[in-house]
Homo-oligomer: A and B are copies of this chain.
Amino acid sequence: MGALSEAEISSLDAWWRAANYLSVGQIYLLDNPLLERDLEPDDIKPRLLGHWGTTPGLNLVYTHLNRLIRERDVNAIFLAGPGHGGPAVVAQAWLEGTYSELYPRISYDKLGMLRLFCQFSFPGGIPSHAAPETPGSIHEGGELGYVLSHAYGAALDNPDLLVAAVVGDGEFETGPLAASWHSNKFLDPVHDGAVLPILHLNGYKIANPTVPARIPREELVSLLNGYGHEVLTVEGSDPHDVHQQLAEAMDTAHDRIREIQRAARDGEEWQWRPWPMILLVTPKGWTGPHEVDGKLVEGTWRSHQVPLSETRNNAAHRRQLQEWLASYVPGELFGDDGVPVESVRSLAPAGVRRMSANPHANGGLLRKPLVLPDFRDHAVEVTEPGASVHEATRVFGQYLVDVVRDNPDTFRIFGPDETASNRLDPVYAVTDKVFQGAIWDVDEHLARSGRVMEILSEHTCQGWCEGYLLTGRHGIFSCYEAFIHLVDSMLNQHAKWLKTTRGIGWRADISSLNYLLTSHVWRQDHNGLSHQDPGFIDHVVNKKAEVVRVYLPPDTNTLLSTMQHCLASTHYVNVVVSGKQPAFDWLTAEEADLHCARGVGIWDWASNDGTESGAEPDVVIAAAGDVPTLEALAAVSLLRTHLPEVKVRFVNVVDLMRLQDDTEHPHGLPHAEFDGIFTADKPVIFAYHGYPWLIHRLTYRRSNHANLHVRGYKEEGTTTTPFDMVMMNDLDRYHLVMDVIDRVPGLGQSAAAVRQLMVDTRRRARQWTRDNGEDLPEVRDWTWTGDVEPGRSPSVDTSADF
């Protein structure tokens, strides 16, 4: 009396058994793939590496999704939260034929099956987890917690798509997952697709029961209702019964989703409608060995990895493995040639309806380049350096207006409640923040649809963004610089994904992950020390050079140029750090364009070293970052005033990876070019945005490294004035002048006097600040006077013609 006839149950069960058989085979077998003879020790892998516990559950869900897809022509993809159940998703892709299409060596026959088994978790083979190598996957699952945010990211702007997301009950305990349930408050049922969460309560983690499995069931359901879900429970350990329950739950869930979408798309009056989800309660390691060596395994944590661990050397274990494999009755499922029998094969959806072949899970295939305005159309006018002031991110916000307008359904802005604080609010002229909670009259820019997504969870923002990019779209994540560390570990996983996919021919490149980090370390006026940390750059540069890029635009036009470049790029992680406070403009649009293309350059309008004539400076003052550039230029000014005889070359670095050499990073400068800019033997005073040692780490192979002296953030800060902040870290103009005097040889008595003046001025500045709560007037009112070489028009790098 259920949704399914006995024949339907039987065929679903056959597919499930086939997938489980193929999963166990992957974990254990080196030979004898069809169990044509008794298992011998040599049939077994010498090292058994993989995770069985979650696998039968993943296979069950996948199997039932296929039924739904076939019966209702659903466009679906599958995300395995417990991605360590790699054998399941690989088995499904092979059963569906996709695996052999993408990897012809792993053919759709007995030899291919053998190779499928052998390659799993084997040197030279494939990883034990769902991975970039896995057809149909956009989600590694190695690090738990991101399946729902990835799923919602994938569903955005894909109104036709159903994203099935299995949440493991271990993963359920993680913070990022816990927060991401609320993603449904940001899903627009009109323009977005649907996410179907399936919480798989198999009861155990590696060594413990899970929290959701052991709290009162009514509390768990209450919690899930509280997350905004209608809960459809499927529970049991009898396959026949569970098939029936799960098919009904899938049908009901899909009906509910369609009804929510219909109501919204028909324009019915808005109301919050809880989305369906499935709570699937089945034993861990289901259908595997029930007991091993007298201990319960099925249904416990002992089935988490490899239930029978000694199958090569222990005959009893081997016999148990054989019985286990035979319990799936492979003879009914595969022909003698290893090809799945027709009755099994016919259960696979067709073509791109196979979840393993759905192009949404290989988003680069669907990706279209962004329509980008020319940044010059938004550039600020710069008549001369330092003559005007802009908030760089606000101007970039105006650039984003065009991007949003011209890419109405492929571009999103993600951020933790900081889009306006980060000055990107000009975009609200053309779009809103999407929200499915109550909207009140007092609210601004809040709507049921919109391109801006804000939740106070960096994890959720990052997950949404990744899911959106991985399915072929574009986005930007703007965040306070200090708190982007919250997603360090997510960045790791995404960078590894990008790195690995570069080696996989059938994976098409996706859009870069673009971070705009603002509200940075030097301007945390309201918040102080807890909000000061420029170390995300350090974290990112540990990732593979092929995938990471770091930019520190010194002003508004360079920010625009940088962002245009990043938004057009593919398959990188781009980290851009830029202030949001009013700051001087240094470069015209044309100069910014050239400077950003070169990544590093001599600003000869700020230099007096006669670079054009091939002369060498006494000192190089270099800067990377907007605040360091300001202080470094002010130092240049001070030197020009007080020690005009010192020949200074001013260098600005916008692309940090230029500092490495070209064997270390694709953007690296060859040594000759580096020496051409930084000299081979002159002191270099380097004012850097972040932790100073990063500059040493990037340049230690340079011939002039011993002369490099870096100032940056050394973990000193509080709520104080902007200039007090740079003074606390010795990055201020006065200290930079002292550094020059200390390092340029042969300066005379007058230099000593100037040095003392600097010391005194710093003391005065500190006292003034403590007395008045403001910066010294001569600092606040400082402007670049162009007095270095009066009358010269600004130009960039004109002499650097290497």
Contacts and interface: CB of A to CB of B under 8 A. Distances in A.
Interface string A471-515: 000000000001101101100110010011000000000000000
A182 interface: yes
A227 B185 CA distance: 19
A245 interface: no
A362 B150 CA distance: 42
Interface in A279-308: 296, 299-300, 305
Interface in A165-179: 170-171, 173-179
A175 B185 contact: no
A315 interface: no
B211 A185 contact: yes
Given A173-B455, A182-B211, A489-B483, A724 B530 contact: no
B178 A179 contact: yes
A486 B143 CA distance: 10
A576 interface: no
A527 B170 contact: no
Contacts of A45: 773
Contacts of A177: 175, 179
Contacts of A531: 142-143
A420 B210 CA distance: 15
A616 interface: no
Contact of A417 (B170, B485, B766, B769): B170
A320 interface: no
A173 B457 contact: yes
Contact of A700 (B123, B145, B535, B705): B705
A539 B529 contact: no
A749 interface: no
Contact of A526 (B51, B174, B526): B51
Contact of A175 (B49, B128, B180, B223): B180
A185 B215 contact: yes
Contacts of A221: 226
A206 B691 contact: no
A140 B693 CA distance: 28
Q: Is the interface of A mostly helix, strand, loop or mixed?
A: loop
A443 B204 CA distance: 10
Interface in A589-638: none
Given A500-B529, A530-B496, A693-B697, A226 B228 contact: no
Nearest to A463: B175
A564 interface: no
A30 B418 CA distance: 30
B206 A418 contact: yes
A786 interface: no
A544 interface: yes
B47 A525 contact: yes
A269 to B, nearest CB: 16
A50 interface: yes
B492 A482 contact: yes
A719 interface: yes
A421 interface: yes
Interface stretch (A259-267, A353-361, A432-440): A432-440
Given A128-B527, A175-B174, A219-B226, A123 B720 contact: yes
Contacts of A496: 529-530, 715
A793 interface: no
Contacts of A418: 206-207
A205 interface: yes
A176 B544 CA distance: 28
A47 B226 contact: no
A770 to B, nearest CB: 4
A205 B224 CA distance: 24
Contacts of A438: 209, 214-215
Nearest to A223: B226
Contact of A182 (B46, B173, B437): B173
A376 interface: no
A540 to B, nearest CB: 10
Interface string A218-245: 0111111111100000000000000000
B417 A773 contact: no
Contacts of A738: none
Contacts of A696: 696-697, 700
Given A170-B456, A492-B485, A223 B215 contact: no
Nearest to A531: B142
Nearest to A425: B207
A632 to B, nearest CB: 22
A774 interface: yes
Given A47-B721, A496-B715, A535 B539 contact: yes
Contacts of A748: none
A435 B214 contact: yes
Contacts of A533: 489, 492
A181 B212 CA distance: 12
A417 B206 contact: yes
Nearest to A486: B489
Given A142-B528, A222-B222, A226-B223, A173 B46 contact: no
A797 interface: no
Interface string A13-43: 0000000000000000010000000000000
A50 B719 CA distance: 9
Nearest to A176: B175
A270 interface: no
Interface string A758-780: 00000000100110111000000
B526 A123 contact: no
Given A175-B177, A208-B433, 14 more contacts: A46-B773, A49-B719, A122-B770, A122-B773, A175-B178, A185-B215, A207-B418, A207-B421, A208-B417, A208-B435, A300-B442, A488-B488, A538-B538, A696-B700
15 contacts: A50-B526, A122-B773, A127-B528, A129-B719, A175-B175, A178-B181, A219-B225, A222-B225, A223-B225, A223-B226, A223-B227, A305-B526, A535-B542, A694-B697, A696-B700
* Top 9 A-B residue pairs of the complex, sorted by shortest distance between their CB atoms: A223-B226, A142-B530, A214-B437, A175-B175, A178-B178, A175-B179, A222-B226, A485-B489, A173-B456
